Amino acid sequence: MNSSFLKAGHTPTLFAAFLYFDLSFMVWYLLGPMAVQIATDLQLTTQQRSMMVATPILAGAVFRLILGLFADRTSPKTAGIFGQCVVIAALAVAWLAGVHSYEQTLLLGLFLGFAGASFAVALPLASQWYPPQHQGKAMGIAGAGNSGTVFAALFAPALAKMFGWNDVFGFALIPLVITLALFVLCARNAPRRPAPKRMADYARALGDKDSWWFMFFYSVTFGGFLGLASALPGYFHDQYGLDPVTAGYYTAACVFGGSLFRPLGGALADRIGGIRSLLAMYTLAAICIAAVGFHISSSLVALSLFVVALLSLGAGNGAVFQLVPQRFHREIGVMTGLIGMAGGIGGFLLVSGLGAVKQATGDYQLGLWLFASLAVVAWFGLCGVKRRWRTTWGSAASTAARV
């Protein structure tokens, strides 16, 4: 990190944005690693277990748009404090009163959606401090907070085994309260902020068919990453009989790779072009997910395939957002909100869909193959639109994208 970058923005705010995003993603994902333990105690079906895990993902997708609008009209710091307080209050009630039914898990998941919406606060809070030449680095550092999912996968099942899964909600309050205090002390709104986005801006963006392509591409990459990360603890338990703690460790290995490769995916896209990079990522992900569907007998082989798949999807996330500013450089704020929402919806559909397929057929095979097919559809869709993008993006964008 060079001195010009350190002097260009506000480092305490960048740190606060990263920490807020990291802990928020940890909590957003919290029900996934404990899904087997919660489902066993509450006697949930496979489909109910999947819906419990999927609810925070869907709520986060919707709340991203709402919290983003709130941040525009007040400030990112105000929106961040509000979101954190909602999540802390929800976890405190769940811990003190207890969660005793399937419906209560869904209600808790709804409020945890505010943690998933942190994307709409952390990124603008950090990026608004930095000039264009440092935007990518600032957003990469703030966006690296999705690594918080690793902590949930590593520690939540083990803590649930030792103390009970309901007490994990209480343990989660400790880092959240500390993070809120640091956020209040360290974060500052940028002195110059863009004008608030209007609903008409979103409607105008949705009128462009390229918006829908980008939303679809990200629903496969980020939706696939988050959806698989949420479903894998249950998958490893159901398919290979792993205990929840071991299944959590397996999942953490997959999630760590995907989180690590998001910024590396953006760097690779800068080097070889966003479209080439994304095509390669879809290819790898489709092959690995389809292969897992063929009833791999070894859990370690399945783990290896999932690691490669999530590495590819994580890198694909970075590649998508390397392309977005080239196509929508003037509408980047609006498109970030829409694309982020689509990614969350993709994750919800994947988790709930895998649960429904398992419930109906007794196997995950069809669900995995359907998702692999979506990656293939995205591959062909990207090949199809890149020919038009050569002419519509202009020569500069064409060169940058290397199509």
CATH code of 215's domain: 1.20.1250.20
Which of 160, 187, 214 is the last residue in one of the domains?
Answer: 187
Distance CA 98, CA 167 (A): 9
Low-confidence ranges of the chain (pLDDT < 50): 394-403
Contact call for residues 253 and 381 (beta carbons, < 8 A): no
Cα–Cα dist 187/129, whole Å: 11
DSSP for 7-40, written as a single string: HHS-HHHHHHHHHHHHHHHHHHTTTTTTHHHHHH
Do residues 91 and 173 make contact, with C-beta atoms less than 8 angstroms apart? yes
Q: Using the 3D structure, point to which of 162, 187, 212 is the last residue of a domain.
A: 187
Q: Which two tokens stand for residue 3?
A: 């001195």
Determine the Cα–Cα distance for residues 364 and 296; give it in Å rounded to an integer: 12
The answer to the question of residue 16 being in a domain is: yes
Which residue range forms the structural domain that includes residue 203? 197-403
Domain boundary among 145, 161, 187: 187
CA-to-CA distance for 181 and 381, rounded, in angstroms? 46
Provide the domain count of the chain.
2
Q: What is the C-alpha to C-alpha distance for residues 345 and 307, in angstroms, rounded to an integer?
A: 22
CB 100 within 8 A of CB 106: no
- Are 162 and 218 part of one and the same domain? no
> In this structure, are residues 148 and 22 in contact, taking their beta carbons and an 8 Å threshold?
yes
pLDDT of residue 2: 58
Taken as a whole, the chain contains a residue count of 403
Q: Give the pTM.
A: 0.86
Residue with tokens 């500390």: 178
With b meaning 16 or more CB within 10 Å and e meaning fewer, what string describes 320-339?
bbbbbbbbbeebbbbbbbbb
- Please give the pLDDT value at position 3: 62
| The pLDDT value given to residue 397 | 45
Centre a 10 Å sphere on the Cβ of residue 146 and count the other Cβ atoms it contains: 26
- What was the pLDDT predicted at 330? 67
